[in-house]
Structure 1
Amino acid sequence: MVADFRRRFLVSLALTLPILALSPLIQRTLGLEAALAFPGDAYVLLGLSTVVFLYGGWPFLRGLAAELGRRDPGMMTLISLAIAVAYFYSVAVVLGLAGQVFFWELATLIDVMLLGHWIEMRSVMGASGALEALVKLMPTTAHRLGAGGAFEDVPVAELRPSDQVLVKPGEKVPTDGVIRRGRSALDESMLTGESKPVEKGEGDEAIGGAVNGAGAITVEIRKTGDETYLSEVIDMVRQAQSTRSRTQDLANRAARWLTYIALSVGALTLPAWLALGQAFDFALSRMVTVMVITCPHALGLAVPLVVAVSTSMAAGRGLLIRDRAAFERARNLQAIVFDKTGTLTEGRFGVSDLVALGDRPQDEVLRLAAALESQSSHPIAAGVVEAARARDIVPAEVSDFENLPGQGARAAVEGRDVAVVSPGYLGEHGIAVEDDRPRALMAAGKTVVFVLVQDELVGAIALADVVREESRDAIARLKDKGIRCIMLTGDAEAVAKRVAGELGLDDFFAEVLPHQKAERIREVKARGLVTAMVGDGVNDAPALVEADLGVAIGAGTDVAIESADIVLVKSDPRAVLDIMALSRSTYGKMIQNLLWATGYNAFAIPLAAGVASGAGVVLTPAVGAALMSLSTVIVAINARLLKWAQPTR
């Protein structure tokens, strides 16, 4: 439909140029009657206008039939009445009726209406994009174990329960199953919200779409097709989209009342003047003027023009608006639910605490750990190395690096055996931790690794998902505006509590699975709060659609972006404040335009009907068309003034 409106607009616009050149009023105004007039030009003008009326006006005429069929007259009814009156009256004038043709008004009216609807429809996005993005998360091929013991590449669609597939480092798990051989860290952050790769081995479940880490694993297929975890998420997104409510277009409501007024006044004008003894051509001219002056040029563009300007402004601020109705609702937000990983936090590990055990200084503990971890690609290792770099610590030389699957790593650092290990490694080897500080850090939801030198415990390093500095500012400003700030995460309770306390959030939900995220949004909405959801993962998609306003961090997954109403190009939570400010300013301009586009009729329609004729004030159809055009210009200028408003956070 968007392409159809665009095509009809371009064709009608091309035909409007000769229509303007052949219109007597335009020729007289420009003083070009002698240059442009020729015998039979009225019939050429009639032919061109007929094409514009039938081809360009067809969507509105079809809409008229639909609105009348359901007894709900609105915008299409008013547009159709306007172009029909202008067309048939002008045809009658060409065929001999005394009067003035309105073909140029007809053509420009259709052009503007097609342009307005094209702009408006482009802002309405379909729901299929989110589902397509979900499907793309799954790989298309898998390495299946054949009868001869060799692996063969087959389409994922051919996999069946009990098949065994090889998942190499860096590849995605093709579908849900259980690990039968190997051990590795699986990145499920885009599926479950878990901020760090999960160490898994034989007997553990592997979710389709998870990204394998450094080790190769063999997975036995358990679920395929619609039974998989990802398919369930797809179903939730589809269901939430199908039940999504949208606000009624204010312009349609205004058009409905304007339709009733135009029909009533227009129907009464002709017989009223005839009853008062006026000539038929005078009475008909008054009726035509009423219908022309009520033409919804301004009304049709009141909302789309503001949308076009605000969309452009939003893009300049890194806000991509995908759903206009939801964007308009942003002005009334009362609660904002944030995903944790990748939204409020950076989604990477950073060193938060250093504990030196014994006589070694903290920097020495970090130097030894960073030297070892510089040989690893694990996210925890990256955090340790980054912390050393931030302190200008130069790592020592390393040799004989050895990965300890699921427990850490060890190597020779400056000739000494150094290991960075998990708490499980200490328990397995009977190494006691007598200091209470590491236990307190773990209780606070932080990941703690221990540093050993020659099997002697010398220190502990606590890491946590790094909270964005922008998040602190965003939460503080939102709370100042009286908006409740809530966090939703699949992470552990202790981790969520730490982040919520650090940011001063009003509430948080932890250990929440994807289908539960949508339920939590419904819970918040059930409190009577207009709610927004801000997230970036597959696990956020159902919640993004369920919320009154879904906001996706642009650095996140395609599915989160496709499920959202607004996409943030930058991963900056403060942009939510920009959304709210721009939404309020945009809505204000829309209301101003709608008030003008309908309000001027309260003055113009009575004059068009001739109520002031006794005082010598009689509006001709041409003057009525000029007033109608003036209202359109005013609406367009007011929409452009939105750029000068400079909405602020």
Structure 2
Amino acid sequence: MKQDHRDHQHDNDDDHKGHEGNADHSDHDHGDHGGHSHREHHKQMVQDFKFRFWWVLVLTLPILALSPMIQHFLGVEWKFSGDSWILAVLSSVVFFFGGWPFLSGLVDELKKKQPGMMTLIGLAISIAYFYSTAVVFGFEGDLLYWELSTLVGIMLLGHWVEMRSVLSASSALEELAELLPGQAHRVKEDGSTEDVPVEELKQGDRVLIKPGEKIPADGNVVKGESSVNEAMLTGESKPVDKAKGDEVIGGSVNEKGSLTIEISKTGDDSFLSQVMNLVEEAQQSKSRTQDLANRAAFWLTIVAISAGLITFGAWVFFTGQSFDFAMNRTVAVMVITCPHALGLAIPLVVSRSTSIAATNGFLIRDRAAFEQARNLDAVIFDKTGTLTEGTFTVTDILNFGNDFTDDEILKYAASLETNSEHPLAKGILEKADETWEPDEFNSITGKGIEGTVNRKSVKVVSPGYIREHELSYREEEVEEISSQGKTVVFVIIDDQLAGAIALGDEIRESSKHAINALHEMGIECIMLTGDNKQTAEYVAKELGIDQVFAEVLPDEKADKVKEVQNQGKLVAMTGDGVNDAPALATADVGIAIGAGSDVAVETGDIVLVKDNPEDVTALIKLSKATYRKMVQNLWWASGYNIGAIPLAAGALYTFGIILSPALGAILMSLSTVIVAINARFLKMET
């Protein structure tokens, strides 16, 4: 049985000690952040890398001009007394100021006994700096200050670009936070309005929303009619009509008429806050693929350091090459094998997919469950409210030919039902365009209702009443409709059996599309319901459901999920999140559908805001697309490093191909940028 996602423990990194001192981005799994503070930390890091890069770039120009190797390459000689000391001073500033994020990152990684990208960069620039400084003080060799400065500059530029990519990819929370307006027009007791900060609104306040304005908080319409755009919150592209009594969501946009709403939820209870909490949970939850990437990055670091030592020893002791040549090769190996792209490969895809999901109306609470969705063998659907509308709707009107039209039969029945609280009455009333006021109304115990409508005696009764009074009707036609799982009531007007009205829980059109799409993906579709077998079998036949569990009590649903799991299948359970809670928790992937404005469904790994089963197929497709992007990024990052190590070590030196540390840094940064761009190409598949 799947462990409840609330029990998952998120591994937290050490607290940030300043934006320079913790520049290790290889753990961008959002495991240590606290909402906006984490994003502010990223912003500070972007500014810090940018500031250091421009200073290093300015200092690199004189360093290049004063470096003997660069002068030799250009065929010039700009030597003067003390030039090497000026070179050393400028390079020291580059090393300690420009290289500080990498040096402090090296110390942090070694303290945690988790050598990674910062360890490699820190070692590479330290070797180049101290080796060159030793040459200035008389040690025989070539100055590598120009290598140091270009390496630090390129690494700072790469990190600057990468951190901007991280901010761009993980912007879902900030985008959601910006949906709410800053102020609201609160209606006072005398009917006038006052502008107040949204934070001051409380439950029961009435607020005026003018056309084009954002709704400041969740509430119910008490006055006015309009259409509201909820696309940013629910993914529903079409504006939703709102009138008195309808719910509205804070952050949605009022498009046409003015609305007055009464605030029902504010702060943490609001829909938007719940969405933000779920998005943050998703960013914090561990990705199984990320764990793999982190382990790969650790071992790549060990391999890189080992390869650097072997490279140095091989060139010095077995080929007779100079110390500085061997040092160059060692530095190149350690720079080009930095696992930065590998460390960024998964988090960028995770952030991107979380953002895409949120803007399309489904919210990922558990990353591991979301990743499992790509391998599902079976999806179990709750019937009522998931595959069907969950409400009784008039589906058929049978006219028995006693001088009444279909509309009249419906109108007489609806008029009598105006005083009834029965669920069937609501369905009949919704179908009727207009009604008469009934003069009398009585209940026929266990059989129906009767009264006087439009000066006629009217009864709306059950089949039991018809059988009891031995009234004749078209039995075959009625039985055929009943076999479809529909409820039939009879209408008697002035003692004549005028007709019958059939009501059913209407199947969603989107359910058919969802089942067909799942079948195309090779996924078995199973229906779970407490309804009778006849009704369940009819719905299953209409939708093409593969297997049906009917007459199942709520506390038995989890057992049915286990039964399917015991067949060796990876199972998703899709339900409304209320009476389906045990089944949702038991399934490998729990999908709470149709949460509407109440998205805090504790047992769902994934929460679907809309009442649309097609979102289940969209979710699975996004899971598959996300995994493909993760694999692409992992292969690019790992394959790049595996191929680069021999090249950096000088394996093709006999062919005249040599890779400098600076070129290695360029290629390493390019690899990371490619990984970031590839993650940005992730999109929803239709």
TM > 0.5 between the two?
yes
1:613 aligns with 2:653: yes
Does structure 1 retain, via aligned residues, the 8 Å contact 2:577–2:603?
Answer: no
1:542 aligns with 2:582: yes
Residue 560 of structure 1, CA deviation: 7.0
Residue 454 of structure 1, CA deviation: 5.3
Cα 1:245–1:313 shift into 2, 3 Å:
closer
1:11 aligns with 2:44: yes
Deviation string for 1:424-447 (max 9, x for gaps)?
7779xx544555455665565333
* Counterpart in the other structure of 2:685: 647
Residue 292 of structure 1, CA deviation: 0.9
C-alpha distance in 1 between matches for 2:395 and 2:97: 74
Does structure 2 retain, via aligned residues, the 8 Å contact 1:553–1:567?
Answer: yes
User: Match for 2:547: what amino acid?
Assistant: D
* Counterpart in the other structure of 2:455: 415
Secondary structure of the residue that 2:502 maps to in structure 1?
A: strand
User: Match for 1:84: what amino acid?
Assistant: G
Residue 463 of structure 1, CA deviation: 1.4
C-alpha distance in 1 between matches for 2:528 and 2:470: 36
Deviation string for 1:284-342 (max 9, x for gaps)?
22222111101122212222333344444445544444443333333333221111122
Does structure 2 retain, via aligned residues, the 8 Å contact 1:269–1:286?
Answer: yes
User: Match for 1:531: what amino acid?
Assistant: V
Residue 509 of structure 1, CA deviation: 1.4
C-alpha distance in 1 between matches for 2:649 and 2:384: 64
Larger displacement relative to structure 2 (606-615 or 351-360): 351-360
* Counterpart in the other structure of 1:84: 122
Does structure 2 retain, via aligned residues, the 8 Å contact 1:289–1:624?
Answer: yes
User: Match for 1:381: what amino acid?
Assistant: A
Deviation string for 1:259-308 (max 9, x for gaps)?
35323312211211220323333322222211110112221222233334
Does structure 1 retain, via aligned residues, the 8 Å contact 2:361–2:610?
Answer: yes
* Counterpart in the other structure of 2:426: 382
* Counterpart in the other structure of 1:296: 339
Secondary structure of the residue that 1:2 maps to in structure 2?
A: coil
Q: How does 1:113-512 map to 2 (within 5 A)?
A: 247-249=288-290, 250-275=292-317, 276-315=319-358, 317-356=360-399, 359=402, 361=404, 363=406, 364-376=408-420, 378-389=422-433, 394-401=434-441, 408-422=448-462, 431-432=469-470, 435=473, 436=475, 441-442=481-482, 444-453=484-493, 458-512=498-552
Larger displacement relative to structure 2 (560-569 or 525-534): 560-569
C-alpha distance in 1 between matches for 2:46 and 2:94: 15
Task: State the aligned residue count.
Answer: 508
* Counterpart in the other structure of 1:23: 56
Deviation string for 1:598-630 (max 9, x for gaps)?
112233211111222233322221111011011
C-alpha distance in 1 between matches for 2:472 and 2:679: 69
Does structure 2 retain, via aligned residues, the 8 Å contact 1:551–1:565?
Answer: yes
Larger displacement relative to structure 2 (271-280 or 400-409): 400-409
Larger displacement relative to structure 2 (443-452 or 589-598): 443-452
Residue 633 of structure 1, CA deviation: 2.4
Residue 409 of structure 1, CA deviation: 4.3
C-alpha distance in 2 between matches for 1:42 and 1:440: 90
C-alpha distance in 1 between matches for 2:157 and 2:445: 73
C-alpha distance in 2 between matches for 1:59 and 1:452: 84
C-alpha distance in 2 between matches for 1:415 and 1:29: 104
Residue 349 of structure 1, CA deviation: 0.7
**Residue of structure 2 aligned with 1:2, choices 17, 30, 33:** 33
* Counterpart in the other structure of 2:614: 574
C-alpha distance in 2 between matches for 1:336 and 1:505: 10
Q: What residue ranges of structure 1 are gaps of 5+ in the alignment?
A: 66-75, 125-243
Secondary structure of the residue that 2:629 maps to in structure 1?
A: helix
Does structure 1 retain, via aligned residues, the 8 Å contact 2:371–2:627?
Answer: yes
Does structure 2 retain, via aligned residues, the 8 Å contact 1:535–1:560?
Answer: no
Cα 1:466–1:499 shift into 2, 3 Å:
same
Query: How large is the RMSD of aligned CA atoms in angstroms?
Result: 4.1
User: Match for 1:598: what amino acid?
Assistant: S
Secondary structure of the residue that 2:321 maps to in structure 1?
A: coil
* Counterpart in the other structure of 2:666: 626
Cα 1:106–1:473 shift into 2, 3 Å:
closer
C-alpha distance in 1 between matches for 2:569 and 2:531: 25
Q: How does 1:92-111 map to 2 (within 5 A)?
A: 92=130, 98-100=143-145, 101=148, 102-104=151-153, 107=156
C-alpha distance in 2 between matches for 1:368 and 1:268: 94
Residue 464 of structure 1, CA deviation: 1.3
User: Match for 1:78: what amino acid?
Assistant: G
* Counterpart in the other structure of 1:52: 101
Residue 506 of structure 1, CA deviation: 0.7
C-alpha distance in 1 between matches for 2:333 and 2:483: 76
Larger displacement relative to structure 2 (445-454 or 10-19): 445-454
C-alpha distance in 2 between matches for 1:421 and 1:55: 82
Residue 94 of structure 1, CA deviation: 8.3
Larger displacement relative to structure 2 (552-561 or 264-273): 552-561
C-alpha distance in 2 between matches for 1:417 and 1:59: 87
C-alpha distance in 2 between matches for 1:317 and 1:558: 16
Residue 594 of structure 1, CA deviation: 1.7
Cα 1:498–1:268 shift into 2, 3 Å:
same
C-alpha distance in 2 between matches for 1:83 and 1:21: 19
Larger displacement relative to structure 2 (39-48 or 376-385): 39-48
Does structure 2 retain, via aligned residues, the 8 Å contact 1:608–1:619?
Answer: yes
Residue 252 of structure 1, CA deviation: 3.2
* Counterpart in the other structure of 1:140: none
TM-score by length of 1: 0.67
Does structure 2 retain, via aligned residues, the 8 Å contact 1:334–1:531?
Answer: yes
